[in-house]
Each structure stands twice: as structure tokens, then as C-alpha cells.
Amino acid sequence: MKFPWQRSSRIPTQYAIIGIGRFGTSVVETLVGLGYEVLAIDPEEKNLERVKDIATYSVVVDVTNEKDLQEAGISNVDVAIICLSDIEANILATLIAKDLGVKYVISRGLNDQHVEILKLIGADLVVTPEKEMGRKMAQRIVTPGIIDLIDAIPEARLIEISPTSEIVGKKIKDLPLSTSGILVLGIRRNGGAIIVPSPDEVIVANDKIYLFGTADVLSPFYEFVI
């Protein structure tokens, strides 16, 4: 069973969510709510019942079987998000997604050792939902404004980039950012932070620059804005 999906442009529009537990269900609901196509995959029919009326497609397959995942259409999505809570299945599904050519694979890390394994086998991003939730809650308590703003504008993204050699040594005002609808919210430099830097601030090698804007305007700076 193959789905007639084609790879999209640099901004991902088609996602596969592997593992439809509580975390996977939340990811499906959020992505669909933002207007993206979602392929929901799980080895258990009862889990897919949670998203059968939400996901674009849903399919029951053995998530540790390469042939099954390929036939499900995993190779045709832009991003695969591995939400499985079983560590062995999580690792195998991550490996298979990479082997089948999925450009960007995000995996759920269940403990510190698991996170390191996922990085070693090629996961492009490893997330730890419990840690992230704790961090976000703490940020909301001490700096509620920016978190509320991002939540209120789901089209917005806040990303971190490293400067290329072409922009090192240039002032922020000399970069075509504001005219593109992009704000520079901050720069992390030598362990310190420059909050809302001046337009005359000069970009330095090894800076971490934080940009705020919509996914489409940020796409030239980041291969996948998620």
C-alpha cells in the first residue's frame, strides 16, 4: 500500500508520525491543526483509533520491518517523527527511516543513554518531551510574554542559526532580514547574550543567532523549519 505523495519543497508539508501514544497523538493533532498532511503509523489498531478521524492517512504496520514501512509510504514524507516508547522499536524505526531516505528524522529520547544512541545512528534531532515540558513551563513562569506570543501565533517560528562566512563581519542592518519579515531577537556570544541587538551589531564567527518569523521566510536560513 503506497500513498501518492511527492516530496515537497524545502519547507516540509508531509509528516509521518510513528507511534501513536499520548505523545504521538498530540503531535498528529498539532500538525494537522497547522495544515500539514500527516501519515500516522502504529503496530496497534487500537492506538490508531485515537487519530483515525484526524490524520490524513493512518496505517497499521510492523514499525520494525523495513518493507512494511516502505510500503506504508514512509519514503515519500519530508519528516518522520519517531514517538515510540519502546526503546528497541524506537531505535529500529529511526534506523529504517534514515535507510529509506527520509530527509529529516526526529526521534523521541527516553533516557540519556537512549538519546546518545539515537544521535549515533543518525537521528537529525532528538527530543525529550518530559524535559522540554519542564523547561517550557519554567520559561512560561519567568518570561511568559514570548512563550505566549509563539503559542498565540502558530505560524511563527523561533530558530537558532550559525552565521556563514558570507555574513560574518557584517552589521545586522546590512542583512536583508527586516525587509523579509524576520526579526533578530538575540545573539548568544562567548557564553553571554545580546537581547534584541542593535542594527549596528556586527556578526561574529561562532555566534548563535535567534531569528523570529514565519516558516516560509525563514526557510532560506534553515533547511527544515519545524
| C-alpha separations of 27 from 32, 45, 99 in Å | 9, 18, 23
pLDDT for 5 beyond 50:
no
Spatial CB neighbours of 214, under 8 Å, sequence gap ≥ 6: 155, 156, 157, 181
pTM of the shown model: 0.66
Question: What CATH number matches the domain at 14-132, 3.30.2130.30, 2.60.40.10, 3.40.109.10, 3.40.50.720?
Answer: 3.40.50.720
**155-221: same fold as 14-132?**
no
Q: Which CATH superfamily is domain 155-221 in?
A: Regulator of K+ conductance, C-terminal domain (3.30.70.1450)
Residue pLDDT, tens place only, 24-68 = 999 999 899 888 899 999 999 999 999 989 999 999 999 999 999
Other CB atoms within a 10 A radius of the CB of residue 135 amount to 11
Crossing angle for the helix pair 87-99 and 112-120, to the nearest 10 degrees? 20
Give the cell for residue 138: 519554567
Q: How confident is the model at residue 226 (pLDDT cuts 50, 70, 90)?
A: very low
| Spatial separation of the C-alpha atoms in residues 24 and 34, rounded to whole Å | 15
Spell out the domain ranges in the chain: 14-132, 155-221
Q: In degrees to the nearest 10, what's the CA dihedral of 6, 85, 95, 132?
A: 80
CA distances in angstroms from 108 to 76, 101, 135, 212, listed in the order given: 21, 19, 16, 25
pLDDT computed for residue 7 by the predictor? 36
